[in-house]
Amino acid sequence: MYVPKEFQVYTSQEMAAFISKLNDVCHTWSDLLTIDYFYHFQDSDYDEGLSFFDRLAKKIGKHHPDWDVAEYKQIVKTANDPQAVYVDIVKFMLDDTSDIIYYGI
């Protein structure tokens, strides 16, 4: 699994507690990662978290024509520390606050 443990939420109760901690302040890349994990980790195409890159590209990729999702996935798969690289790529893809807002929660 490429998604680090601290971003993994499994139950509705855990998600409700997580959501209740969110406020009206701008959300972060980690909020989106946690929510994506909860709603998609059981998808047949989750690919240990790599499908999040696809969902990001589908929603906000039009603003980032330079993104190469296939390359990002390959970089994660071949990294010495794939979880750290995965997080770095998520941070990179959600570096712009306006992208986080546009992607939505």
Kind and range of the H or E run holding 47: none
Helix axes 82-93, 51-60, angle to 10 degrees: 10
pTM, 2 dp: 0.87
pLDDT tens-digit series, residues 32-73: 999 899 889 999 999 999 999 999 999 999 999 999 999 999
Residue-level pLDDT at 26: 57
Query: Domain locations in the chain?
Result: 5-103
